[in-house]
Structure 1
Amino acid sequence: MDRGLSDEVIVVGGGVVGLTTAVVLAESGHRVRVWARESGERTTSAVAGALWWPYRIEPERLVGDWALESLTVYEDLAARSARTGVRLVEGVHAGLRLDGLGPWAARVPLADTSEGLSARLPLIDMPVHLGWLRQRLEEAGGTVEERVVRGLGEVRSAVVVNCSGLGARSLVPDPAVRPVRGQLVVVENPGITTWYTSAEKTAAGPGGGAEGSVSAYFFPQPGGLLLGGTAHEDAWSLEPDPDIAAGIVARCAAVRPEIAGARVLGHRVGLRPYRDAVRLERELLPDGRLLVHNYGHGGAGVTVAWGCARQAAGLVDPGPAA
């Protein structure tokens, strides 16, 4: 191996998956630096609705364990919600039934009702949570550096952990990673304290583009009520579409009429990094460097962050059985 390589672990990507993975690595004794093209409120993670739920992520046989491991962490963090941004909030997944879910659901407090599945689940204020993750990383000796990476080969470290999300499409490169565009509207909360989601249906994309899916959901966050949502595959625009925004408000107001008169505070757009299956594996490069991939989490990066982070850390330190 090149003796000029750093013995630090470089984590590429500063979203929730990258920061959580960096925290786990730093707290296990590694010197860790996060290289992030964007950090904090400018990441895709920052604009997420952030309700814990396995949404648009594969493969199902692995997702359940990752999600449940993360759920346990979030339940603990909810005891310090002001610092961590994690709260346990009641709500309903309209139209869903227990028998339509995977085996993981048997270990989650869900109840069938006439409206759908009722549950008390983690709801995460992402700007606060991302700040808390960064602080926890720094307390463990890690750092975050805003830096544009154009290819993984330029990361001169003995161990590189690739948590670049949609960026993996060009960094690896991996054309299997595709954007699924999501748009939200933030309004003044008219007094709603529970979350709500409904099933998706087909609709036109931004600007009348390719079809995707739309749904009605609202999440009460400290900064306002988040209304959604959309899921348009292979759509790259980060500009809010006013017609889509109007449709979001109308669908949510059909469920809770008081939303119709709520003052709009802002619009958010994010590109979910979808892949047919999450890539979570180790790769030994020809020069002896170790590259661990942890990307392609679709709309469930928050939901599986801790489970995937711990598995990724185990790939860095695989032990004798690996």
Structure 2
Amino acid sequence: MRYTDQQQSASGTSEDWGSPLISDFDVFKEEKVHNFFESQQAIILMSTYLQDILKNVEKLDENLLKKEFFKLLQVSLWGNKCDLSLSAGADSSQKSDPLQSVEELKPFILVDHMEKLWSLLINKKNMNKQTTRLDIVLDNAGFELTTDLILADFLLSSKLATEIHFHGKSIPWYVSDTTRRDLNWTIKQMQSANHKGMSRCGVCWEGYLKNGVWIYHDHLFWTSPHEYCRMAQVAPDLYSELQKSNLIIFKGDLNYRKLIADRKWEFTVPFHQALNTFHPAPLCSLRTLKCDIQVGLKPGQGEQLTNTEPDWMIIGKYGIIQFDAAS
């Protein structure tokens, strides 16, 4: 069976289901809204930090630009800790200063390919490419989504990317998964906030969407049972779209599971091998570990963690920034 744009339209999305009551209903909405508002102090800190960077972003030399990219990338990674599926209904909001936490959490990044991402993006920028497209396959709404949008704004404003494509769910699906409604709601909340930094972000982000430098996509494939190595066969339109990207960032644990087909590989199996022919473009997984699969570790690394902390794979304490060059 193939999932195409035509099938998606015929089947309906969250915007055009037959009943207006169903189309407006998201069983997880209350939890998503709670996560956003309970994380508001952290969002204010991040918004203020971004606005301060953007005042002088064109004057930053490569070393400073790299430093800010690494910092915001790690904030986006650890934003994945705010996952309602992990919290079992408990408060999963961001309470601490995410910027202050970056250095504290760095030892818990088990695979760190930030340098490879930087090399790819800065080389594209220095080549004066007319278009550098970056795609982000989203995970959770709430605080995590705001960290993704802040990263995307920085990438666009610094010209490390010239257009950003976001991929979300076409229907409310797995707890706090992002839909188009969540994206639009978040931007509206940012716009209407009393805090100047948040408001400026919201106004700017709405402008990006209207100007077409931020584009939101949804597709039924993302809520299908298929592993991603099957995408070219069952959703060739989506695979072709991703092939246009210069870099795809996959957020979160479930995306990682589907990237490597939810198989319990040996820890040292290369990421490229575990992707099993899914190579539409260079890609990176930003993930905090919440299930018992992981590849691309150094010899003995996984076993040592198992000996010292048996639950290391499922508690969301550790993260990865894992890159595959596609070729």
Taking structure 1 as the reference length, the TM-score comes to 0.26
Scaled by the length of structure 2, the TM-score of the pair is 0.26
Q: Greater relative contact order (Cα 8 A, min sep 6): structure 1 or 2? A: 1
Q: Which structure dedicates a bigger proportion of its chain to strand? A: 1
Q: Which has the higher helix share?
A: 2
